[in-house]
């Protein structure tokens, strides 16, 4: 039995005006053939899980193309076209094949199409016909569109947030795909979509109502009622006409899967008002930090500018507000700013100059600030991320400098990565516990590491492409009968789709 394995992965933030290009994929990782097997088989990623499931079934792997990029603005269509062209050629050369297993994010938009995972699934399905088994893994924040459901036999989403079950999700998709091919199971998938988006920092699977719903789904699988299930809370910064939260249930029959999918979707809908995190104002956080005499920092969460959520990472809003406040707070901040990093490298350590910090990539959406700063240290920008990154743990953020403005230290770099890991500071000589205030541009992933030493973690009201205030963003495509734009009182479940009938 021959199974093609491939990957096209990126999470799109429609409000980030900087498009995602081939060089972003080169940075995230492009592998093909034997190189893909070598690079990914031992990594904590979905592709590795699929490979494991294929190996256990003694089937043959045909390793195709894997392309992965960090979250960001819409993908240039020519990048998608390049993936499709190479993948379709590879599939044609290897026909007949029995299965095609794909690792997606699920919320990928291009400069031309809203539903890239649907487009890829449909293009492959058209080529290989109805009998080939197609299985995909997705991020919990994916957008499980009708085109995906109708062209794929199996879709499995992460069950954890913060995400840590990358491998396990790929394994679930791969295993069910192999069981289908071997005639052991006949999976039938039902999708229920509800018109709602909620901020990603409003829930986790560690505690709270969302974690209870996830546990309920897992109990249904354990009891043998379902083969698999997924709950997608589509990442809310994706502005598309077809999108929303989704419950997927897979069972031996649509009639078995559908009532469970509807029940879980109703429960998810009912908890919609519980997903709004309490937000501090920057001034409230500054006041707390100014009084902080402990050796534990206050964490100001600037999730609106989190590159993990596809924002630009170049917003100097917090720095600007802090300078305006005239408060003396020992602070660490990180900001994407290639020109400032290069200027610091030209000047050398110990030199002083007026820097314009921030707003270099999105001059319209991001604040900048002009200020005299000292070049404190210079770095190549390579560090090892300790947390579960899901990919290679070596991070390269390009030429990096630490600028000091009084007792504020600003890390300026080319492309921020590994935001959830304190190593993004420690690797550049900044020990967070020596600071009263540390700014973290991340959403949820950072909590595991930061809560070990933070005095307080403050979700803060800041502007940006990944703002928690969804109503402040300029959605153009999402229908208006959508939560939180509408309260959905009296809404009846009506959007049900089935995998191939």
What residues numbered 81-140 form the site for Zn ion, per CB under 5 A? 139
- How many CB atoms sit inside 10 A of residue 291's CB? 11
Under rule CB under 5 A, how many of the chain's residues touch Zn ion? 2
**In angstroms, what is the minimal distance from the CB of 141 to Zn ion?**
4
Question: Binding to Zn ion by residue 141, rule CB under 5 A?
Answer: yes
Distance CA 359, CA 313 (A): 9
Please identify the residue of the shown chain whose CB is closest to the bound Zn ion: 141
Nearer to Zn ion, 76 or 139 (CB): 139
**In angstroms, what is the minimal distance from the CB of 408 to Zn ion?**
31
Q: How many residues does the chain have?
A: 501
Cα first-last separation, the chain: 24
Reduce the DSSP state of residue 204 to 3 states and report it. coil
Reduce the DSSP state of residue 240 to 3 states and report it. coil
Nearer to Zn ion, 139 or 239 (CB): 139
Q: In this structure, what DSSP letter does residue 74 have?
A: P
Nearer to Zn ion, 358 or 464 (CB): 464
**In angstroms, what is the minimal distance from the CB of 365 to Zn ion?**
22
Q: For the chain, what percentages of helix, strand and coil (3-state, to nearest 5) are there?
A: 35, 25, 45
**In angstroms, what is the minimal distance from the CB of 158 to Zn ion?**
7
Nearer to Zn ion, 353 or 448 (CB): 448
What residues numbered 285-304 form the site for Zn ion, per CB under 5 A? none
* Residue ranges of E strands in 89-219: 99-104, 133-138, 154-157, 188-194
Nearer to Zn ion, 139 or 361 (CB): 139
Question: Residues 252, 258, 259, CA angle at the centre, nearest 5°?
Answer: 115
Residues 6+ apart with CB under 8 A from 66: 6, 7, 9, 29, 30, 31, 32, 36, 40, 47, 103
Nearer to Zn ion, 425 or 446 (CB): 446
- How many CB atoms sit inside 10 A of residue 383's CB? 22
Nearer to Zn ion, 105 or 147 (CB): 105
Nearer to Zn ion, 197 or 251 (CB): 197
Q: In this structure, what DSSP letter does residue 195 have?
A: S
**In angstroms, what is the minimal distance from the CB of 140 to Zn ion?**
5
247, 159 contact by CB (below 8 A): no
Residues 6+ apart with CB under 8 A from 492: none
Nearer to Zn ion, 24 or 139 (CB): 139
Reduce the DSSP state of residue 129 to 3 states and report it. coil
What residues numbered 245-264 form the site for Zn ion, per CB under 5 A? none
Reduce the DSSP state of residue 315 to 3 states and report it. coil
* CB burial readout 112-143, b (16+ within 10 A) else e: eebbbbbbbbbebbeebeeebbbbbbbbbbbb
Distance CA 58, CA 501 (A): 29
Question: Binding to Zn ion by residue 391, rule CB under 5 A?
Answer: no
**In angstroms, what is the minimal distance from the CB of 142 to Zn ion?**
8
Reduce the DSSP state of residue 37 to 3 states and report it. helix
Nearer to Zn ion, 319 or 443 (CB): 443
Mutual angle of helices 317-325 and 282-290, in 10-degree steps: 60
284, 327 contact by CB (below 8 A): no
Nearer to Zn ion, 141 or 415 (CB): 141
**In angstroms, what is the minimal distance from the CB of 445 to Zn ion?**
9
What residues numbered 28-67 form the site for Zn ion, per CB under 5 A? none
Alpha-carbon torsion (467, 469, 474, 476), positive or negative: positive
Distance CA 300, CA 278 (A): 13
**In angstroms, what is the minimal distance from the CB of 396 to Zn ion?**
22
- How many CB atoms sit inside 10 A of residue 494's CB? 9
**In angstroms, what is the minimal distance from the CB of 71 to Zn ion?**
9
Nearer to Zn ion, 159 or 376 (CB): 159
Stretch that binds Zn ion, among 141-149, 350-358, 364-372, 374-382 (CB under 5 A): 141-149
Nearer to Zn ion, 141 or 150 (CB): 141
8, 100 contact by CB (below 8 A): no
Residues near Zn ion (CB under 5 A) are: 139, 141
């Amino acid at each position: 039995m021959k199974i093609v394995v491939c990957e096209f992965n990126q999470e799109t933030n429609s409000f980030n005006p900087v498009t995602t290009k081939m060089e972003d994929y080169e940075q995230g990782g492009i592998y093909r053939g034997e190189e893909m097997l070598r690079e990914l088989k031992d990594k904590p990623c979905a592709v590795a899980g699929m490979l494991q499931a294929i190996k256990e079934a003694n089937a043959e792997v045909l390793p195709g193309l894997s392309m992965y990029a960090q979250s960001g603005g819409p993908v240039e269509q020519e990048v998608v076209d390049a993936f499709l062209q190479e993948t379709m050629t590879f599939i044609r050369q290897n026909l007949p094949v029995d299965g095609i297993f794909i690792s997606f994010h699920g919320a990928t938009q291009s400069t031309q199409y809203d539903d890239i995972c649907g487009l890829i699934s449909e293009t492959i399905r058209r080529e290989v016909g109805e009998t080939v088994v197609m299985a995909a893994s997705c991020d919990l924040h994916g957008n499980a569109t009708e085109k995906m459901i109708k062209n794929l036999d199996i879709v499995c989403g992460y069950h954890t947030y913060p995400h840590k079950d990358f491998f396990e999700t790929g394994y679930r998709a791969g295993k069910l795909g192999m069981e289908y091919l071997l005639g052991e199971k006949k999976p039938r998938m039902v999708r229920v979509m509800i018109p709602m988006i909620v901020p990603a920092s409003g829930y986790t699977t560690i505690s709270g109502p969302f974690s209870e719903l996830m546990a309920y789904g897992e109990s249904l699988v354990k009891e043998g009622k379902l083969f698999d299930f997924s709950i997608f809370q589509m990442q809310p910064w994706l502005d598309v006409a077809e999108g929303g939260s989704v419950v997927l249930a897979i069972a031996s029959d649509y009639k078995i899967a559908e009532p469970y999918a509807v029940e879980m979707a109703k429960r998810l809908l009912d908890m919609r008002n519980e997903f709004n995190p309490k937000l501090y104002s920057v001034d409230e956080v500054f006041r707390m930090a100014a009084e902080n005499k402990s050796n534990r920092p206050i964490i100001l969460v600037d999730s609106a500018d989190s590159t993990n959520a596809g924002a630009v990472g170049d917003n100097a809003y917090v720095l600007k507000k802090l300078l305006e406040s005239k408060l003396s707070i020992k602070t660490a901040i990180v900001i994407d700013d290639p020109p400032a990093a290069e200027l610091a490298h030209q000047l050398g350590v110990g030199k002083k100059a007026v820097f314009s910090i921030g707003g270099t990539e999105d001059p319209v959406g991001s604040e900048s600030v002009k200020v005299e700063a000292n070049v404190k240290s210079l770095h190549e920008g390579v560090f090892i991320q300790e947390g579960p990154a899901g990919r290679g743990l070596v991070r390269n953020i390009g030429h990096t400098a630490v600028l000091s403005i009084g007792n504020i230290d600003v890390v300026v770099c080319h492309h921020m990565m590994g935001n959830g890991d304190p190593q993004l500071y420690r690797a550049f000589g900044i020990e967070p516990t020596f600071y009263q205030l540390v700014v973290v541009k991340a959403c949820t992933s950072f909590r595991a590491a930061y809560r070990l030493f933070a005095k307080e973690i403050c979700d803060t009201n800041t502007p940006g492409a990944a703002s928690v205030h969804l109503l402040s963003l300029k959605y153009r495509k999402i229908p208006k009968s959508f939560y939180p734009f509408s309260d959905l009182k009296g809404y009846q479940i009506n959007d049900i789709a089935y995998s191939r009938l």
